[in-house]
Structure 1
Amino acid sequence: MADVVREREGVPVLECDPDGPPIATVDDAVELVGSVFLGARVAAVPVRRLDERFFALGTRFAGEVMQKFVNYRLRLAVVGDISAHLASSAALRALVAESNRSDHVWFVPDFAALDDRLRATAPR
């Protein structure tokens, strides 16, 4: 399966293929932002597409990736189980909690949870 744009809860979402190329550099993140601009408002990225450095906050890679989405007023949804990463990092737990309170970057366990978030943030 290739990356594909699908409407979820009335929002065009770029659903990234779990087997697609890794997001391992800031340039990879910029390329992803460009792909989102081709017709989506949200990038749904499976956890396994993200380089392990994304979850090691000392590398600052997560911050750089997240900032790209914020700068372009796009949403990034990290989709999948990150419990092992959370168990080993209080800083990551804090980042995830803070991000999930915002409107630009979400960490969700699955697409059903993403749909819930999209529904909750839909204009009324």
Structure 2
Amino acid sequence: MSEFKPTLTEEEKAFARSLMLALEPFRDIRSTMPLQYVYTFLQVACDEGKGVMEYASSAGVSPTVMTRHLLDIGDLNRNREPGFGLVTQERDQTDLRRHQARITPAGKVLMRRIINALKTTPR
């Protein structure tokens, strides 16, 4: 039998471990947190104040899909049940038809946990 040889370098494995630790706060919220929700949250965290159309275009999904994702990680999900409370959508005061997504205090706590995981991960 031949000796098993790992595919990844130690540095690549260290980055994979860092990513796993950074994603752990999402798993604490829900062990089966969909990647689409994680990505949507990070989009809002990186560029708050945009509307559904901008986030949908950036993510390469339809506005309908992005609306569902923003609702599900917001205060009330698409079924009008409690959501994850990570983002909120406020009316745009210059165009009342639009809403602007922002991180909630719970979303900010989550972001701090992600940052702490990334900072404390040895490489």
Q: TM-score, normalised by structure 2?
A: 0.27
Larger helix proportion of the pair: 2
Structure with bigger gyration radius: 2
Greater RCO, 1 or 2 (C-alpha within 8 Å, sep 6+):
2
Larger strand proportion of the pair: 1
